[in-house]
Structure 1
């Protein structure tokens, strides 16, 4: 799995960091930061969930 985030559309809701804190964080401006662009298999479910919950659609996961 590959995880990416489009910081230009991120609204800083923080759902990604709350849902998958091992994969996502927020910078000082509240925008998404991808900590694990190729997360371990055990984190795939949480990363996908974070993508579904993102209100701006900034999170993308690809297999």
Structure 2
């Protein structure tokens, strides 16, 4: 599973990283910079939770 982040939609709420800090990384301004990264093994449910909490719907999870 890979993370896709639409940087144009990300508003820097940081809810993804608050809900799944092991999965999502933020830049210094609070924007998600995990685009293209692979979800660590066993963290798929956390990745889904973080994506679901994004109020801008900027995160998509892509199955490999």
TM-score range with shorter-chain normalisation? 0.7 to 0.9
User: How many residues are paired up?
Assistant: 63
What is the root-mean-square deviation in Å for CA atoms of aligned residues? Answer: 1.7
Q: Which residue of 1 aligns with 2:23?
A: 23
Question: What secondary structure does 1:33 align onto?
Answer: coil
Gaps of 5+ in 2: none
Q: Map 1:38-57; keep pairs closer than 5 Å.
A: 38-57=38-57
**Residue in structure 1 matched with residue 58 of structure 2 by the alignment:** 58
Task: From the two aligned structures, give the one with the greater helix fraction.
Answer: 1
The TM-score normalised by the length of structure 1 is: 0.85
Task: Give 5+ residue unaligned stretches, structure 1.
Answer: none
**Aligned counterparts of 1:19 and 1:36: Cα–Cα separation in 2:** 19
Of 35-44 and 50-59, more deviation after overlay is shown by 35-44
